[in-house]
Structure 1
Amino acid sequence: MRARNRLSAKGAASLGAGKFADGGGLWLYKTNRISGKWVFRVTVHGKRREMGLGGFPDISLSEARKKADRARAIAQDGLDPIKEREKAKREAVRNLHMLSDVAIDAFEARKAELKGDGKAGRWFSPLELHVLPRLGKMPVSDIDQIDIRDTLSPIWHSKAETAKKALNRLSLCLKHGAALGLDVDLQAPEKARALLGKQRHEAKHIPAMPWADVPAFYHSLTDGTVTQLALRLLILTGVRSAPIRFAHLDQFEGNVWTIPADLVKGRKGMTTDFKVPLSQEARAVVQAAKLHERNGFLFPGTRKGVISDATMSKHMSDKGIDYRPHGFRSSFRDWTADTTNTPFEVAETAIGHTVGGSVERAYRRTDYLEQRRVLHERWAQYITGQSGQVVRSWGKN
C-alpha cells in the first residue's frame, strides 16, 4: 500500500499550481496558491475514475481525507463511488418539493459558476432574506404570480436592485424544480413582474466616508481583532475587500504586497499581479494580523476559510455607521485629489484602476510603484495623525 498523509495543512496552503498526492488516491489539484480542488483517483472495474471531493481551501485536508476514506471503502466493495454518490443525490431529489429545498439544491448546482463557490452569499442572500421567509415552506407547484407579487411588493421600489435579484433567483429555482420533474409554473415570475409594474428607483453609489472623517474612524479600530485589522489594512491600501480577505503570507515581501491577478478586479485587459507598496503603518498591521494567521491566510473566518464579504460591513453597521468599507477607496482617492498634487495616472493606479488604452499601456513600462509608495506613506501619516492635523474623536457627542 502506498504511503498516505503525505501533505500537511500548512504545506498544502503554501503550494503553487500543480497536482500533489496525499497518498491512497487522494490528490490536491491547485490552480494557484490560493485555490484548487481535492480529487480522489480510483480504479473500478478496470477503469480509472477521478472523483471531485470539493474545493480547496473550503474543504480542509482532514475533511478531504475523510471523504476519500468513504469513497475508498465503497470502491473496495466493488462499487463505483461516483455512481453511488449520484444515486444518493437522485434519491434525495425525490423528497425535494418545498421551495426552500429546491432553492438550496439550485444553489448547490450553481456553486461552480459563482465566484468563490458562492461563499460570499450574494447569490443566495436575496432569496434567504426576501423570498424564503414567506414562500420557503410552500410546495413549488403551488407558487403563482400572486404569491410572488405579494412577497416582493414591499421592496419592489424601495430596494429595487435587490428585488430584481430576488425575482431572478426565484425564476432560476422554479426552472430547477422543473428540471427535477416537478410541476411548476415557469411563467409565474414574469407574470408577477407585470403585476408589480415599473420600478421607481435611482441607483445610488456606495456611500463613502468623507476623507476628513477617516482618521477618527481609523483610531477607533484598536482591539486587534481580525475584522478591525482587516479594515485597517483596507483603509491604508485602498484595495477592494477580496484581496484583503484572501491576503496570504506568501504575498508579502518586505514593503510590497503582491496581489495575484485573479484577485484584482477592475483592471480590464491586465493579466499581471498588482503590487501595492506598504507604508510603515500597513506593515505594522500585517505583522499584527500574523497572530491570527491560519493556513497562511491573515484574516481567517471564525470556523474555516477566510472572513466573509459582509464581515467588515457588519462591523460598521453595528457601530451605526452608514458608510461602506468599499467606500474607503473613494475616501483615499478624494483625499489624493484634494490635498496632493499627485499626477492622475499615479492616483488612479494607486486604487487599482487601469489608465489609457492597450497601446498606451504597452509602451508605458512603469507601474509608478515608487511614486505610489510616497503617496501611501503620506496617506498613512494623515490617517494616523502624524501629519500634524487634528484627529477628532469618532462618534456622536
Structure 2
Amino acid sequence: MRARNRLSAAFVKRAPAGKWCDGAGLWLVKRDDGGAQWVLRYTLHGRRREMGLGGGDVPLAEARRIAERWRAVAAVGRDPMKERDAEIRAARRDDITLAVLTADAFEARKSELRDEGKAGRWMSPLEVHVLPKLGKVPVTDIDQRDIRDVLAPIWHGRGAESAEKALNRIGIVLKHAAALGLEVDLQAPAKARALLGKSRRERKHIPAVHWRDVPTFYATLAEPTITHLALRLVILTGVRSKAIRFLRLDQIDGDVWIAPAEIVKGRKGKTVDFHVPLSPEALRVIELARPFERYGYLFPSARKGVISDATMARLMERRGMDERPHGFRSSLRDWLADCTEAPHEVAETVLGHVAGSKVVKSYRRTDFLDQRRVLMCRWADHVTGETGKVVKLVGAG
C-alpha cells in the first residue's frame, strides 16, 4: 500500500461516512450527514495534534498542497496551528495596530494603576507623542527606528520625562502583544534607547524650603482659610498634597489618620492603608478646618469635589517662591537626617515609602507608628517655632 496519495478524487466525492487516510497524516473525515472535513495529524514535541484544513469542498490536490506546507512547518519544530493563527491575525491588520494593542494593554492593567488608570495619565505620553504617528502601524512592524523617530524630538528637551515614560510603556505594549502570540521585537525599546543616546536634559528636583526656614513660612499661614489650613497640614504630616485634599473626617481615629491605600502614592505593592500619626498641632489645624467640611471632605472646592492640586502651589507662586508644596516632604526628610537619630527605615516610613529589600518587606509587619508619633510631634514643635534637641528614639536602633 502506498504511504502517500492513497485516495483518489473520485473516491473523495463518493466516500461513505468514516475516516479515510490519504497518507502522511492527511485524513478525510466524512460525517453521517454527508459533510466532510480535511484534517492533518502531526506530532510536535511528543504531543499529537489535529489541525483542520478545510471542508469537503476543498479539492484533494489542494488539501495535499496545504498539508505539505504545514508538515514542513512542524518538521522544523514550529506549531502549524499557532503559525496559522498568527497569519490570520496579521491579515486583519486593523486588529493589531499599535493603537488597538495599546488600548488593550491599558485595559488589562488599569486595575493596577489606581488613580492613574482613571485619570488616563498612563496613556497620556503615548497619546501625545507616539500614537499620532505610529498608532495605525501594526505592532509586528514596529522597530527601533520607528520608536527613535517619534521620541527623538523630545528626548533631550523639556519633554524628556514624557519620552522616558512613553518608551517604557511601548515596551509594556509589545510584551502584551507577544503574550497574545504576535511576533514583535521585544528588544525594540532597548535598541531605540541606544539609538537615542543618554538624555542631555538634567532632571530637576522640586524646589524645597530648607527645614530651617519652614517655621518662618508656616507662620505666614495665619489665616483660617482652606488653602492656608491645607498647606499647614501638608507641612505637618509630610503626606502628599493629594491625600490631604481628599482627607475625610471619618478617616481620623484619635490621633491617627488612616489614609486609604489608593490615595497614598509611593507604596508600590502595598494594599493596606497608611497610618499617619497626628501631632497636637495637626489636630488643631483639623479642628480649624471642620467648619469647611462638605460631603465628608475637609477641604472641599467652592464648586464640587475637593480643592485642586494647584491651589496650594498657586499661593506659593503668587508670593514669588520657586518652591512648591511637594517640596515640604524633602524639608521634613532633611530635618529627619540632620536633627534626629531616626533609623533609615523609620525616616522613610514617615514619608510613606516602603524601605528595604523584597525579603525585608515581605517579613516586616510594623509601620513604626510609635516612633513616627514621637518624630512628628518634634517636627511640629520645630515648625511652630519651638527649637528642640536631637531626637533619640528609644528601642528604634
TM-score, L = length of structure 1: 0.51
Q: Counterpart amino acid of 1:325?
A: P
The CA distance in 1 between the partners of 2:301 and 2:177, in whole Å, is: 33
Alignment partners' CA distance in 1, 2:199 and 2:154: 10
1:1-42 CA-to-partner distances (Å, cap 9, x unmatched) read xxxxxxxxxxxxxxxxxxxxxxxxxxxxxxxxxxxxxxxxxx
The offset of 1:174, in angstroms, is: 5.7
How many Å apart are 1:157 and its aligned residue? 3.3
Instruction: Report which structure shows greater RCO (CA 8 Å, sep ≥6).
Output: 1
Aligned residues: 287
Alignment of 1:335-346 (within 5 A): 335=335, 342-345=340-343
How far does residue 199 in structure 1 lie from its aligned partner after superposition? 4.0
Give the structure 1 partner of residue 40 of structure 2: none
More divergent stretch after superposition (299-308 vs 209-218)? 299-308
- 1:367 to partner: Cα distance: 1.2
What is the CA–CA distance in structure 2 between the aligned matches of 1:368 and 1:161, rounded to whole Å?
36
Q: Give how far 1:122 is off.
A: 4.3
Contact 1:221-1:232 within 8 A present in 2 as well = yes
Other-structure match for 1:375:
378
Deviation at 1:196, TM superposition (A): 1.8
Distance 2:282 2:152 in 1: 48
CA change 1:95–1:308 in 2 (3 A) is farther
Structure 2 CA distance for partners of 1:227 and 1:146, relative to 1, 3 Å = farther
Change (3 A) 1:223 1:370: closer
Deviation by residue 1:60-103 (Cα, 9 ceiling, x = unmatched): xxxxxxxxxxxxxxxxxxxxxxxxxxxxxxxxx99878866664
Moved more, 365-374 or 239-248: 365-374
Q: 1-side partners of 2:93 and 2:227: how far apart?
A: 42
CA distance in 1, matches of 2:364, 2:180: 50
Q: Residues 267 and 352 of structure 1 are in contact (CA less than 8 Å); yes or no, is this contact kept in structure 2?
A: no
Rounded Cα–Cα distance in structure 1 between residues aligned with 2:268 and 2:189: 36
CA separation of 1:286/1:127 partners in 2, compared to 1, >3 Å: closer, same or farther?
A: farther
Match of 2:117 in 1: 118
Distance 2:290 2:97 in 1: 44
**CA distance, structure 2, for counterparts of residue 110 and residue 364 of structure 1:** 28
SS at match of 1:210: coil
In the alignment, structure 1 segments of 5+ residues that lack a partner are 1-92, 388-397
Aligned residue number for residue 72 of structure 1: none
Matches within 5 A, 1:53-132: 103-104=102-103, 106-116=105-115, 118-119=117-118, 121-132=120-131
Question: Percent identity between the aligned chains?
Answer: 51
Instruction: Give the superposition deviation at 1:192.
Output: 3.5
Q: Which structure 2 residue ranges, 5 or more long, are not aligned?
A: 1-91, 388-397
For 1:298, the equivalent position in structure 2 comes to 298
Query: Which AA in structure 2 matches 1:280?
Result: E
Query: Displacement, 1:331?
Result: 0.7
The reply to whether residue 238 of structure 1 matches residue 229 of structure 2 is: no
Post-superposition CA distance 1:315-344 (Å, at most 9, x none): 767876544433212212334555x5x442
User: In 2, are the aligned partners of 1:160 and 1:199 still within 8 Å (CA)?
Assistant: yes
Contact 1:233–1:286, Cα closer than 8 Å, also in 2:
no
Structure 1 residue 304: deviation in Å?
A: 7.3
Show the 5 A alignment for 1:34-49: none
Q: Match for 1:135 among 118, 125, 133?
A: 133
TM-aligned CA distance change 1:213 to 1:113, over 3 Å? same
Would the alpha carbon gap of residues 220 and 173 (structure 1) be closer, same or farther in structure 2, given more than 3 Å must change?
farther
Q: Which has the larger radius of gyration?
A: 2
Contact 2:259 2:276 survives alignment (8 Å): yes
Q: Which residue in 1 is equivalent to 2:289?
A: 288
Q: CA RMSD in A?
A: 5.3
* Cα 1:256–1:140 shift into 2, 3 Å: same
Map 1:1-397 onto structure 2 (within 5 A). 103-104=102-103, 106-116=105-115, 118-119=117-118, 121-132=120-131, 134-135=132-133, 138-141=135-138, 145-158=144-157, 160-173=160-173, 189=189, 192-200=192-200, 205-215=205-215, 217-218=217-218, 229-241=229-241, 243-259=243-259, 263=264, 265=266, 274-280=275-281, 282-285=283-286, 287-288=288-289, 291-294=292-295, 296-299=296-299, 321-335=321-335, 342-345=340-343, 348=347, 350-352=350-352, 367-368=370-371, 371-372=374-375, 374-382=377-385
**Inter-CA distance 373–178: structure 2 relative to 1 (3 Å threshold):** closer
SS of 1:107's partner is: helix
Contact 2:237 2:282 survives alignment (8 Å) = no
Distance 1:270 1:184, change over 3 A: closer
Q: Say if 1:151 and 1:324 are closer, same or farther in 2 by CA, change over 3 A.
A: farther
Is the Cα–Cα contact under 8 Å of residues 227 and 311 in structure 1 kept in the other structure?
yes
Over 3 Å counting, the alpha-carbon distance change for 1:172 and 1:208 in structure 2 is same
Give the deviation of 1:164 after TM superposition.
2.4
SS in 1 for 2:257: strand
Give the corresponding residue for 2:83: none
Specify the SS of the correspondent of 1:140: coil
SS for the counterpart of 1:193 is helix
Shift of 1:214: 3.4
Structure 1 residues 333, 178: CA separation in 2 closer, same or farther (over 3 Å shift)? Answer: closer
